[in-house]
Chain A
């Protein structure tokens, strides 16, 4: 009996030592009295591969506290070995604002990062959002349909191609793929998703049939309609005003509905996600313009209008239509004069060369057109 227990203990020690990362030296302190921000410092060891996040559980004494996603920032996603700092903003946690937390503690746990995040867009505003995470083992179980590993030669990857088999993934749900320290929409934002968030289709679209338009990207939207404008109260003018968006903007409504601080990608995030580890003109590892035939909708194959999202080959991380279909707004200013915002990707209207991973241009933030769409990101930092 004793020998068995000793063996078990040895196994546990070994498992503890080599199998997973370990967090230690966790300290908490508030930047008082200058600020309400709370620094949570830690040291992480044992990361040897894969993508790891830090799960934060908080308590006041023994009472658990629910920390909203948007209240945490800093080193909590895609973490690496060494010291890290997570910052908690208590003012975002409305229900704890009425009191002092006299015995505030946190527990930090390294956890394997999920591959996909799925948000149900059909629930009523005011009811708790329905959020689901998918891990590699979930996809490997076969319950979610086809999964491709290494669809791009030379790039270690995993693409959930079965996501396209259910129309609801393009209309009633928002499916995002985890990339580095952010999630990004698997598809371009669709008109069906807009209907779920805003209550109605946008009046202006090439498509008039509800079934058709639901799975097509939303277009004819300006940057200002998506996020807000400097003239709003409060002003919306990234980066000067940070991640704030106008509450009645498309992203504002999506945030209200989901409880998650979605935004447009930065220029850098967009290209990082588009390339998926490739350095070539297109994200399938090709420099040849003919690659667009399998990757996306452009002037020669789109028949002069947008096409249903997710019908062409995804990149190595399972992102669809990063080449072609609609141009996509990004957060950044395009020019030093700050008159244009960045738009990436080509479109159904343009020749294949405009859809290259590196292609970038600018457009007036209040401008719109039938080639202009977007996809959302959820930042973990």
Chain B
């Protein structure tokens, strides 16, 4: 009898409608640090296949990633495994470009995105259990500088963002990005950066607000201080 009632309940409940399986949905990037950050070694990429596309090519290009994937025929999902490439445990910023092509191999659509791979997202990472250790704030190689949160009000009218790094010798390197939120990769280990005090400034052309930091790099390690 119980089984019969259960069957009736299922029939009543299921009438007409159906539900989906739960999925992760990213909402607005400006208040969502996960929006453009890789958080596991299985990164599901999804897209809508244009009706006039016959093939597509996906390129992933970062400091440590250089990968090309071809899709012949309708494909709407692909899983990227960052740890399949060497040194993926290090920070990186990867530009993704998906180009759809028509029957004559002409481009019929392009999708672009930028993802940050942070150390530890795709594999083991060293964890320092004691905050008192001098290694805690040490940055030795690459740094992902993310600025995807808290800029909504001041930066919403901006046409993009600009990160300027002033070297100890007075020279400056400026990175201009098309978005008001995103990531920049700073390869601090490069010899051309030298040692001493660095000034970092982030601002938003066309908008207001900004962010500043100073960093002092010593031989054998880099120490970061926020101003």
* A interface list, Cβ under 8 A from B: 2, 5-6, 8-9, 12-13, 15-16, 20-40, 42, 55, 61, 90-91, 93, 96-110
Contacts A102-B24, A106-B20 given: A32-B46 contact, CB under 8 Å?
A: yes
A100–B26 alpha-carbon span in the complex (Å): 5
A38–B23 alpha-carbon span in the complex (Å): 10
Q: Pick out which of these stretches binds chain A: B30-38, B190-198, B205-213.
A: B30-38
Q: Pick out which of these stretches binds chain A: B107-115, B123-131, B169-177.
A: B107-115
Which residues of B sit under 8 angstroms from A22, Cβ to Cβ?
Answer: 15-16, 18
Q: Is the CB of A13 within 8 A of B19?
A: no
Count of residues in B whose CB is under 8 Å from the partner chain: 42
Q: Is the CB of A33 within 8 A of B25?
A: no
Q: Is the CB of B44 within 8 A of A109?
A: no
Identify the closest chain B residue to A98 (Cβ).
B31
- Among A5, A23, A29, the residue within 8 A (CB) of B17 is A23
Q: Is the CB of A33 within 8 A of B27?
A: no
Q: Is the CB of B18 within 8 A of A25?
A: yes
Q: Is the CB of B4 within 8 A of A32?
A: no
- Among B11, B21, B44, B114, the residue within 8 A (CB) of A32 is B44
Contacts A24-B18, A105-B22 given: A100-B32 contact, CB under 8 Å?
A: yes
Q: Is the CB of A12 within 8 A of B11?
A: yes
Which residues of A sit under 8 angstroms from B26, Cβ to Cβ?
Answer: 30, 32-33, 36, 90, 100
The 22 listed contacts between A and B (C-beta, < 8 Å) are A5-B1, A8-B8, A9-B4, A13-B11, A27-B21, A29-B77, A30-B25, A32-B46, A33-B26, A36-B26, A36-B27, A42-B18, A55-B17, A61-B22, A97-B31, A99-B31, A100-B25, A100-B26, A101-B24, A104-B22, A105-B19, A108-B17
Identify the closest chain B residue to A65 (Cβ).
B25
- Among B8, B23, B30, the residue within 8 A (CB) of A9 is B8
- Among A13, A101, A107, the residue within 8 A (CB) of B18 is A107
Identify the closest chain B residue to A110 (Cβ).
B16
Q: Is the CB of B25 within 8 A of A27?
A: no
Which residues of A sit under 8 angstroms from B23, Cβ to Cβ?
Answer: 28-30, 104-105
Which residues of B sit under 8 angstroms from A2, Cβ to Cβ?
Answer: 1, 4
Which residues of B sit under 8 angstroms from A24, Cβ to Cβ?
Answer: 18
Most buried by B among A22, A29, A97, A99: A29
A9–B12 alpha-carbon span in the complex (Å): 10
Most buried by A among B4, B28, B29, B30: B28
Q: Is the CB of B27 within 8 A of A93?
A: yes
Which residues of A sit under 8 angstroms from B5, Cβ to Cβ?
Answer: 5
- Residue B98 interfacial (CB < 8 Å): yes
A55–B18 alpha-carbon span in the complex (Å): 11
Q: Is the CB of B15 within 8 A of A16?
A: yes
A6–B30 alpha-carbon span in the complex (Å): 56
Q: Is the CB of B19 within 8 A of A107?
A: yes
Most buried by B among A25, A32, A96: A32
Identify the closest chain A residue to B12 (Cβ).
A12
A23–B25 alpha-carbon span in the complex (Å): 22
Q: Which 8 A-B pairs have the closest CB atoms?
A: A109-B17, A97-B28, A34-B111, A33-B113, A103-B22, A104-B25, A101-B25, A26-B20
A103–B21 alpha-carbon span in the complex (Å): 9
Identify the closest chain B residue to A107 (Cβ).
B19
A33–B5 alpha-carbon span in the complex (Å): 45
Which residues of A sit under 8 angstroms from B12, Cβ to Cβ?
Answer: 12
Which residues of A sit under 8 angstroms from B113, Cβ to Cβ?
Answer: 33-34
Identify the closest chain B residue to A39 (Cβ).
B48
Give the Cβ gap from A205 to chain B, nearest Cβ, in Å: 38
Contact with A along B59-97 (1 / 0, CB 8 A): 000000000000000000100000000000000000010
- Among A6, A21, A96, A100, the residue within 8 A (CB) of B34 is A100
A26–B21 alpha-carbon span in the complex (Å): 8
Which residues of A sit under 8 angstroms from B20, Cβ to Cβ?
Answer: 26-28, 40, 105-107
- Residue B45 interfacial (CB < 8 Å): yes
Identify the closest chain A residue to B113 (Cβ).
A33
Which residues of A sit under 8 angstroms from B77, Cβ to Cβ?
Answer: 29
Known: A61-B22, A107-B20. 12 other contacts (CB 8 A): A9-B7, A27-B20, A30-B46, A32-B45, A33-B113, A34-B98, A37-B48, A55-B17, A91-B27, A104-B22, A107-B17, A110-B17
Identify the closest chain A residue to B110 (Cβ).
A34
Q: Is the CB of B47 within 8 A of A34?
A: yes
Contacts A12-B11, A34-B98 given: A5-B27 contact, CB under 8 Å?
A: no
Identify the closest chain B residue to A22 (Cβ).
B16
Q: Is the CB of B16 within 8 A of A21?
A: yes
Which residues of A sit under 8 angstroms from B36, Cβ to Cβ?
Answer: 33
Identify the closest chain A residue to B43 (Cβ).
A33
A30–B4 alpha-carbon span in the complex (Å): 39
A102–B32 alpha-carbon span in the complex (Å): 12
Contacts A23-B16, A109-B16 given: A5-B112 contact, CB under 8 Å?
A: no
- Among B4, B19, B32, B115, the residue within 8 A (CB) of A99 is B32
A280–B187 alpha-carbon span in the complex (Å): 73
Q: Is the CB of B27 within 8 A of A100?
A: yes
Give the Cβ gap from A11 to chain B, nearest Cβ, in Å: 10
Identify the closest chain A residue to B77 (Cβ).
A29
Which residues of B sit under 8 angstroms from A33, Cβ to Cβ?
Answer: 26, 35-36, 45, 96, 113-115
